Structure formats: C-alpha cells, structure tokens
Amino acid sequence: MNETERLVERCKRERNAIMAATLVTRLKGRGFDAYYCATKEEALQQAIALIPKDHVVSWGGSVTIGQIGLQQYCREHYRCLDRDTAKTPEERAEIMRKALLCATFLCSANALTADGEIVNIDGNGNRVAAMVYGPHQVLCIIGMQKVCKTLASALDRAHETAATLNGRRFPDGKTPCEKTGLCFDCNVPDTMCNYVLTIRRSKPIGKIKVILVGEEVGF
C-alpha cells in the first residue's frame, strides 16, 4: 500500500467512525440496539457476544454474514436451521419456514438511511418476513458503504446496486439486470425484487440489533 492509498484508507476509517456515532444514536432512537465495529473481526466478536449459547440460529441469504465469518462460526458452535443442508427443494423450503421461528436470525440490509431506516429487497420473502416477526432477535450486519442520505436514495441503492450484484451472484439469464448490469424495475416471473421492506422502528425495542461495520462488506 503506497502513501496515497494509506491516506485514502485513513480518511475512510475516520469518516466511518464519525458517521457511525451519529447513526448509532439515530438507530437507538428508533428502538434498535446499535453497535459500531471498525473491522470484520470486531463485528464477528460483537455478534457472537449477542447470541446466547442455547439459541437456535438461522439466516437469510447474505454475503455479509459469510464475509465476517459469522455463518461458519454459528454452524460450528450453535444448533442451526441451515437450508444449505437440504437434500431436496421441498426440504429446503421446510427449513426456511422453520427459520421464521428460530431464536436468533442473521441477516444484512441492502441499504440504511442516514435517519436510521433499514431497506431490504427480497425475492422469496423469507428474509424480510423473519426480520419483521417470529425470531426472538434479529442481528443485522451492515457495511458502512450502504448508508444513504434519504429513503429514496436507499431504495435506489437496493435496486441499482444490491439487486444487480445479486443478479451476478445467482446468474441464470432470466432477469434484465443480469444481462445489462442495470435495474429496469422489471416485472418478470423470476425478478429478485418481489418484496421491498422498510423498517422504520424495532418493535419490541431492542429486538433488531444492528452492527455497523467500518470495512466494506456485502452488496
């Protein structure tokens, strides 16, 4: 890393820490528990500290929880409802249904507004359903690059950035964004954007716990 690269990284770290302090306050004002971790390693340790040993853990589709190592840690240390262990599509769907009643649900977000609202787009609806109701607690791990000034810009990010990158994550050629890299607000059977959720507050207070990460994680 040369001098300019080190300068860029330092500025990002300092800006993220300052911005996170504001976001943590605003998230708490909306009933969320909120934490800031400068690195992926710190985020992993914070998440582990929030999960009781006797909890059954599950998750929705998330690159972020894999990047920080949380998914693998839970597989090794907790009883998990893991759809990737399913032998058939029917078994996979049943595990996803059972995950709605797990004790701790892990996820991320497609965007977070500067006022503390969480935005997610979902294809099947299992991820956003679990965030809203069912699990005793939800841990939502969010990279600071996902912070947007307004709800409108957060929705734009969810469509234009997160959805198009997820299109490359699961390429099957059935949506326009997979072919062009751009969102067309498509209305096709295989669209990934069937359910759009904005979470304004956590009810009950503290059920949704947000861990902000200073390093870039997820889409």
What size, in residues, is the chain?
Answer: 219
CB 104 within 8 A of CB 55: yes
Over residues 186-214, the mean pLDDT reads: 95
Global confidence as pTM: 0.94
SS3 of residue 58 by DSSP: strand
Q: Which range is least confidently modeled, 93-107, 134-148, 169-183, 199-213?
A: 169-183
Task: Grade residue 166 by pLDDT with cuts at 50, 70 and 90.
Answer: confident
Is 171 a residue whose pLDDT tops 80?
no
Q: What percent of the chain has pLDDT over 70?
A: 100
- Compute the distance between CA of residue 209 and CA of residue 142 in angstroms, rounded to an integer: 11
Structure tokens at 120: 């997610």
Identify the residue whose tokens are 């295989």.
190
CA distances from 17 to 10, 14, 126, 145, 157 (A): 11, 5, 32, 12, 22
